[in-house]
Chains A and B, each alone.
Chain A
Amino acid sequence: MYRTYRRAAQLLVFSVMFLIPLLNLYEIYAITGTFYAVNIGRLGIADPVVIFQALFASGSLTAALLSAALFAVFLALLLGRVWCGWMCPYHLLADGAAWTRARVRHKLFRSNAPESLVVPGSLKANMVRYAFLVLGTVAAGAFGIPFLNYVSAPGILSTEAMIFVKERSVSLELGFIAALLLLELCVSPRFWCRLFCPTGAFLALFRMPFTLRVGTDTAGPKAPCCKGNYCSAACPMGLSAFREGNNLLCTNCGRCIDACTAHGGPGRLHFKGFTS
Chain B
Amino acid sequence: MGSGLKGFLKRVFLHGENPFVDRYATNRLRPPGAVNEERFMALCIRCNRCLEVCPYGSIKRAGWGTTIGTPYVLPEDKACYLCMACCRLCPTGALNPTLRNPEKVRMGKASIDASICYSRLFFDHDVLPDTEGRKIGAICNTCYNVCPLADKAIMLKDNLFPVVLDGCVGCGICVEKCPTRPARAVNVTPAGMGKVDEAGFYFRKARKSYETSVSVNGEARTRVLKGSELLDRKYKIEGSTEPPAFRFPYDVPDSIEDWE
Contact = CB atoms under 8 A, between A and B. Distances in A.
A159 B46 contact: yes
Given A32-B49, A149-B45, A68 B68 contact: no
A27 interface: yes
Contacts of B55: 27
B92 interface: yes
A200 interface: no
Contacts of A57: 41-43
Contact of A145 (B21, B53, B91): B21
A145 B42 contact: yes
A159 B93 contact: no
Interface in A8-60: 20-21, 24, 27, 29, 32-34, 36-37, 39, 44, 46-47, 50-51, 53-54, 57-59
A145 B66 CA distance: 8
Contact of A39 (B42, B46, B69, B91): B91
- Identify which of B41, B53, B69 gathers the most chain A CB atoms within 10 Å of its CB: B69
Interface in A170-186: 171-173
Given A143-B18, A162-B48, A166-B52, A37 B42 contact: no
A143 B55 CA distance: 33
A140 B64 CA distance: 18
B83 to A, nearest CB: 12
Contact of B97 (A21, A50, A54, A64): A64
A250 to B, nearest CB: 27
B242 to A, nearest CB: 40
Interface in B39-84: 39, 41-49, 51-53, 55, 57, 61, 63-64, 66, 68-69
Interface residues of A, number: 40
Q: What is the predominant secondary structure among interface residues of chain B facing chain A?
A: loop
Contact of B52 (A62, A155, A162, A171): A162
Contacts of B89: 32-33, 39
B20 interface: yes
B113 interface: no
Contact of B47 (A27, A46, A62, A163): A46
B39 A58 contact: yes
Contacts of B198: none
A198 interface: no
B158 interface: no
B42 to A, nearest CB: 4
B38 interface: yes
A173 B68 contact: yes
Contacts of A62: 92-93
A145 B93 contact: no
Given A144-B21, A149-B45, A155-B46, A32 B53 contact: yes
A80 interface: no
A65 interface: yes
A134 to B, nearest CB: 18
A51 B49 CA distance: 15
A39 B49 contact: yes
A36 B43 contact: no
Interface string B90-113: 011100010000000000000000
Which 9 pairs across A and B sit closest by C-beta, in order of nearness? A57-B42, A36-B47, A58-B42, A37-B47, A37-B91, A144-B42, A50-B45, A33-B49, A68-B91
24 contacts: A32-B53, A33-B48, A34-B47, A36-B46, A37-B45, A37-B91, A53-B45, A57-B43, A58-B43, A59-B42, A62-B92, A68-B91, A144-B21, A145-B41, A146-B44, A149-B45, A155-B47, A159-B46, A159-B48, A162-B48, A171-B61, A172-B63, A173-B68, A173-B69
Interface of B: 18, 20-21, 38-39, 41-49, 51-53, 55, 57, 61, 63-64, 66, 68-69, 89, 91-93, 97
